[in-house]
């Protein structure tokens, strides 16, 4: 017998089909080592599913103006915002990206912080595992054009693109994978993922931008943010500390 994946998952977990479909759409459901991508895929009724729920949100710092958290992978930035009454996102991270996320606790600070981001007064640092071997510093300055939609995608476009700068520094090499430290001078949609892909070194697990490696998630972590003279650091999760 065969049935749609979300229905089978719902039966196995004792949850509604709607909830099961939501788990699959969020990228939390696996069959073996493969992420289940299509909720309506027809599968055998004896298929065994595994659900990888997000880790807890860890608070890094808080005062009357700002709340800084270490966002776990597989959690939308808006879900983090909804977890703290009165706090508003200053910026966002992709669902699968972990790390430093800033929220404002007052409208006045929110406006001030957004202005600082807009004027490039905020320093943003990331760490990632990428395909291939990187052994020297690289500066990528290809302009980026983003096509907005239910699933936004960015492209290198010298005519329509906006300026974007990513600095890549080697950290560690493990086989044919490299751990790199990154600083972005701009904040374009999917900037790091697209820029690394454009030089032939997509982030491990980033199938959208060309990674051939199956991974539980895109191995990208927002490690540090410097704003208004303060430095906020998010410890690396296990999958970033060491690649397998």
- Residues labelled catalytic: 94
Q: Which helix (H) or strand (E) holds 77?
A: helix 77-82
DSSP E strands in the chain: the ranges are 2-4, 29-31, 34-35, 42-44, 50-51, 58-62, 66-71, 88-89, 98-104, 123-131, 138-140, 144-147, 153-156, 166-174, 177-184, 220-227, 230-233
Helix or strand or coil: residue 127? strand
CA angle 94, 100, 105 (to 5 degrees): 100
Contact between 114 and 210 (Cβ < 8 Å): no
**b/e code 47-69 from CB counts within 10 Å (16+ = b):** bebeeeebeeeeebeeeeebbbb
What is the residue whose two structure tokens read 């069959």?
31
């Amino acid at each position: 017998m065969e049935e749609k994946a979300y229905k089978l998952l719902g039966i196995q977990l004792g949850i509604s089909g709607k909830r099961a479909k939501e788990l699959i759409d969020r990228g939390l459901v696996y069959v073996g080592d493969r992420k289940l991508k299509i909720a309506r895929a027809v599968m055998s009724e004896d298929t065994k599913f595994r659900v990888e729920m997000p880790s807890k949100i860890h608070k890094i710092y808080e005062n009357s103006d700002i709340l800084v958290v270490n966002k776990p992978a597989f959690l939308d930035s808006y879900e983090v915002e909804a977890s703290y009454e009165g706090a508003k996102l200053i910026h966002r991270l992709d669902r699968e990206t972990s790390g430093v996320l800033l929220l404002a606790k007052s409208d006045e600070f929110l406006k001030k912080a957004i202005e600082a981001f807009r004027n490039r007064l905020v320093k943003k640092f990331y760490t990632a595992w990428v395909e291939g071997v990187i052994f020297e510093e690289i500066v990528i300055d290809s302009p980026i054009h983003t096509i907005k939609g239910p699933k936004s995608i960015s492209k290198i476009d010298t005519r329509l693109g906006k300026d974007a700068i990513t600095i890549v520094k080697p950290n560690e090499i493990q086989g044919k994978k490299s751990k790199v430290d990154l600083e972005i001078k701009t904040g374009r949609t999917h900037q790091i993922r697209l820029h690394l892909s454009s030089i032939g070194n997509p982030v491990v697990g980033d199938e959208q931008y060309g990674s051939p490696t199956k991974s539980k998630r895109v191995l990208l972590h927002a490690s540090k943010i410097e704003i208004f003279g303060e430095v906020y650091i998010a410890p690396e999760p296990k999958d970033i500390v060491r690649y397998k």
